[in-house]
Amino acid sequence: MTGKLRLGTLTLTLPLGLAGLAGVVGLAGVVGLAGAGGLAALPLRAEEPHDSTWKQIDDVFGAAGKDLPGGVHRFGWPRRDLHVKIGDVPVEPTLALGSWGAFAKTGHGDQAMAMGDLVLLESELAPVVSALEGGGIDVTAVHNHLAGESPHVVYLHFSGRGEAAALATSLKNALRQTATPAAATATPAKLLAADEQAFDAVQRVLGRRGTLAGTVLQVAVPRAETIEENGMQVPPAMGTAIALNFERAGDQVAATGDFVLIAAEVNPVIRELAAHRIEVTALHSHMLAETPRLFFLHFWGVGSPEQVADGLAAALAKVHTKL
């Protein structure tokens, strides 16, 4: 049997009898005993302190969020209930229909900043706006990302600060106004050889590696500078990274996402996309008080993996990004 000994922010799991002794002689005494008297094989196991703030949020949603760089705790709710097409191309949920919410600590107890993006049918918009505003979360944008999709979907961006569990509760109440499925446990992607070949070509031309979300390749490209809102840093995982998403469509790929741009970059990027037959589908803001001021340019392109990736790479060259 074992017992637990608390040492500052560290918890040690010790044999039960020794846990009590350690409380008297201290850790140095235990180590000394181990070296001197037959306890050389003593199993010491360090345990990281549990993050109570993230645990509270996980409990609200009934699922564990994903810990990402920058101290971000993020949840995703792909709209698997929607069957959206653009022309003859079915839009996979993780290509362009992924609702999400992300949390970052403010450094004051259980206080957090929350940001995210909800994918909605038009009939869901008013109830969601009411739920968010009633729960103390601000709506920062409502607009399109795609063009010509059927059925039509709208995208609502939000931002809030406050007690972490309260923010999560408000967001969960907003999600209840929709038919958004609950988050499901991720399953390994089942790629066909043709998928792998197409994605390898995309990544080779871009010179960047992505990650798989089902059968969709997602490439995130952070901007080089620090983004802040109301004096708090907004990490790339909270929506400030350029998002390039790809799915295979026959012997081609369909690509969509958004470029995160400062004003001087907007039209150089538009010109590069147009030169490579990639459509600009929206240009707008997602936040209200960010520094530097950012514009989000959404796109849609269908073509060979090399052609689409070449156009996106040319556009990226016009943006101040991290290597």
| Residue 323 pLDDT | 85
Q: For the stretch 182-215, what's the b/e string if a residue is b when 16 or more beta carbons lie within 10 angstroms of its beta carbon?
A: ebeeeeeeebeeebeebbebbbebbebebebbbb
| Residue 190 pLDDT | 85
pLDDT tens sequence for the chain (323 residues)? 445 444 444 444 444 444 443 443 343 343 343 343 343 343 444 333 458 999 999 999 999 999 999 999 999 999 999 999 999 999 999 999 999 999 999 999 999 999 999 999 999 999 999 999 999 999 999 999 999 999 999 999 999 999 999 999 999 999 999 999 987 665 667 899 999 999 999 999 999 999 999 999 999 999 999 999 999 999 999 999 999 999 999 999 999 999 999 999 999 999 999 999 999 999 999 999 999 999 999 999 999 999 999 999 999 999 999 98
Q: How do the domains of the chain map onto residue ranges? A: 2-47, 51-185, 187-323
Which helix (DSSP H) or strand (DSSP E) does residue 297 occupy? strand 295-303
- The answer for residues whose C-beta is within 8 angstroms of residue 101's C-beta and 6 or more apart is 74, 75, 77, 114, 115, 116, 168, 171
| Residue 2 pLDDT | 47
Is the separation of the CB atoms in 235 and 69 below 8 Å? yes
Is the separation of the CB atoms in 192 and 198 below 8 Å? no
In CATH, what class is 51-185? alpha beta
Helices H / strands E in the chain, number of each = 8, 21
| Residue 27 pLDDT | 36
* Nearest by Cα to 242 from 321, 187, 314, 180: 321
For residue 314, give the DSSP letter. Answer: H
E runs forming strands in 145-251: 149-150, 153-163, 211-213, 216-221, 228-229, 232-233, 242-249
Six-digit token pair at 227?
């983004």
What does pTM read for this prediction?
0.84
Rg (Cα) of the chain, in Å, rounded?
A: 24
* Nearest by Cα to 243 from 292, 276, 210, 291: 210
| Residue 26 pLDDT | 42
| Residue 8 pLDDT | 45
* Nearest by Cα to 115 from 132, 127, 134, 92: 132
Q: Is the peptide bond before 292 cis (omega within 30 degrees of 0)?
A: yes
Six-digit token pair at 55?
């645990």
**CB-CB neighbours of 67 under 10 Å:** 13
3-state secondary structure 74-136: EEEEECCCCCEEECCEEECHHHHCEEEEEEEECCCCCEEEEEEEEEEEHHHHHHHHHHHHHCC
Residue in this structure with the two tokens 């009633």, named with its chain if needed: 134
